[in-house]
Amino acid sequence: MQKEKLRVVRKQKGYTQQQIADIIATDVSNYSRKESGDVRIVKDEWDKIARFLDVSVEEIYEEEESKVVINNDHPIFNGAASGGNINQQFNNIPGSIIENLQGYIALLKEENARLKEELKTPKGRR
């Protein structure tokens, strides 16, 4: 989702994408992706941009439409996962990616089992 309010205010004030990129300490191509909605603008960046443009955050802020949300506080990341369907926990990730990862996990489990058996076998029999 394009940040139309941000883009309009930036242009009205006569600033370039490069100048805003410098304020939030990023390169102009990354800032361009932020303004076009491809990359998320975090709260700290909204605050810096608003101060630089001398406007309130509300005047430029537009809701993020994230394609993938990573939440490191989620139980799957902190070891407190209780199982369940991964599609319910991450319903914003395409099913094909989840299936691919589940297939890879299955292969890794098979390899781990094979290696564990290999370790159990005395060295003379290998």
What residue spans define the domains of the chain? Answer: 4-59
CATH topology of domain 4-59: 434 Repressor (Amino-terminal Domain) (1.10.260)
How many helices, marked H, and strands, marked E, lie in the chain?
A: 8, 0
Does residue 25 contact residue 19 with C-beta atoms inside 8 Å?
no
Q: What pLDDT score does 4 carry? A: 92
C-alpha dihedral, 105 to 109 to 115 to 121, nearest 10°: -170
Q: What pLDDT score does 63 carry? A: 81
Q: Give me the tens of pLDDT residue by residue for the chain, a chain 126 residues long.
A: 789 999 999 999 999 999 999 999 999 999 999 998 888 899 999 999 999 999 999 999 988 765 444 444 545 444 444 444 444 455 567 777 777 888 888 889 999 989 988 888 877 665
Q: What pLDDT score does 24 carry? A: 93
